[in-house]
Amino acid sequence: DAKHNGRNGFRFFTQNIAETLRQRQLIEKGLRLALSEHHFFLVYMPIFDCKDNTIAAVEVLLRCESPELQGIGPDQFIPVAEASGLIKDIDLWVINNALQALLILQTEHKFKGKFCINISGVELHNEAFPAKVKHLLSYYNIAPESVELEVTETAFVAGDVTCVETLKALNKLGISLALDDFGTGFTAFSQLIHYPADCLKIDRSFVNDLFSEREARNKMVMVIQNLAKLYGLRVIAEGVENEAQLAYLKENGCDWAQGYYLSRPLSWEDLLVLLNS
Ligand code: C2E
Ligand code: MG
Ligand code: MG
Ligand code: MG
């Protein structure tokens, strides 16, 4: 009966909460271990120029090989890192290692493209962050124009002064800024004019829905491309998984594209093979 089901439902519910908490603690433990025992590593996803199919940029993506994080990707562990405060150390680890890698690509492999590094939205409230980036750029002697920082659009709070100030400070360093997963957090549409952004990254869900009948989502790629044109921003399409999507994006003036159809995220060794081929 209903009462019986309800009680079972409640037990199921509390068991789920306990399980979620246990999972979170495990991930946090794995992240701490990763920082101290060097379990983090980077993979590299090429981004292609739609005009000539050359490699215009490389996005750096974080991976972790702690035993506690078996089969768990950044979509799951970054939110835990943000909630536990570990994210600041992790973002710095990523930037440090990405710039080291970029220096090798530039000096030994004639790489001329941009390096795209993801940072957490947490950094937009971290006043010390732009100075840290500046220090690392000069430490590795990297030209700021070769670096693009990606921030998820949902990290932006409409009218938030600190966010805009941090973005302006980063922009002053000469690096470029991309709004990642663009279209998933509608605040930026009206706020866009306040952000010193250089690039919009169309979220892969919209690329995925290009030819679907679902609501008006199949029009989103067009909307974002027009918006970018109005504001003079570069557009990167994420999550290109087939020829038809790529053809559509090319025809409609998309600047750069990335996705499994073009290349999976690569190990350092495989990236070198691709760049030298
Ligand atoms: P993102 O920055 O939007 O990165 C794109 C994600 O989509 C990557 O997942 C990539 O592997 C995946 N992807 C790219 N093309 C395709 C495709 O064609 N099909 C499908 N199904 N997936 C595709 P990943 O590496 O799991 O990263 C997930 C998210 O975690 C990233 O989304 C980013 O927000 C965050 N992240 C990754 N690395 C870092 C990092 O170093 N620092 C920070 N703060 N966040 C990171
Ligand atoms: Mg990204
Ligand atoms: Mg994205
Ligand atoms: Mg994402």
Q: In angstroms, what is the span from residue 15 Cα to ligand 1's centroid?
A: 30
Rounded to the nearest integer, the mean pLDDT of the chain is 91
Q: In angstroms, what is the span from residue 2 Cα to ligand 4's centroid?
A: 41
Which ligand 1 atom sits closest to the C-alpha of 240? Answer: 18
Q: What is the pLDDT of residues 232-244, one digit of tens each?
A: 999 999 999 999 9
Q: Which residue has the higher pLDDT, 163 or 40?
A: 40
Q: In this model, does residue 215 exceed pLDDT 90?
A: no
Q: Which residues have CB under 6 Å of ligand 1?
A: 61-62, 73-75, 78, 91, 94, 118-120, 150, 152, 180-181, 204, 238-241, 258-260, 265
Which residue owns the Cα nearest ligand 1 atom 29?
Answer: 75
pLDDT value of position 1: 46
Q: Which residue has the higher pLDDT, 263 or 8?
A: 263
Task: Tell me the two tokens of residue 29.
Answer: 């433990």
Confidence band for 194, pLDDT divided at 50, 70 and 90: confident
Q: What is the pLDDT of residues 52-110, one digit of tens each?
A: 999 999 999 999 999 989 999 999 999 999 999 999 999 999 999 999 999 999 999 99
pLDDT value of position 19: 87
Smallest CA-to-CA distance from 31 within 73, 79, 64 is with 64
pLDDT value of position 156: 76
pTM attached to this predicted model:
0.93
Q: How far apart are CA 28 and CA 94, in angstroms?
A: 17
pLDDT value of position 8: 65
Q: In this model, does residue 11 exceed pLDDT 60?
A: yes
Q: How far apart are CA 30 and CA 71, in angstroms?
A: 12
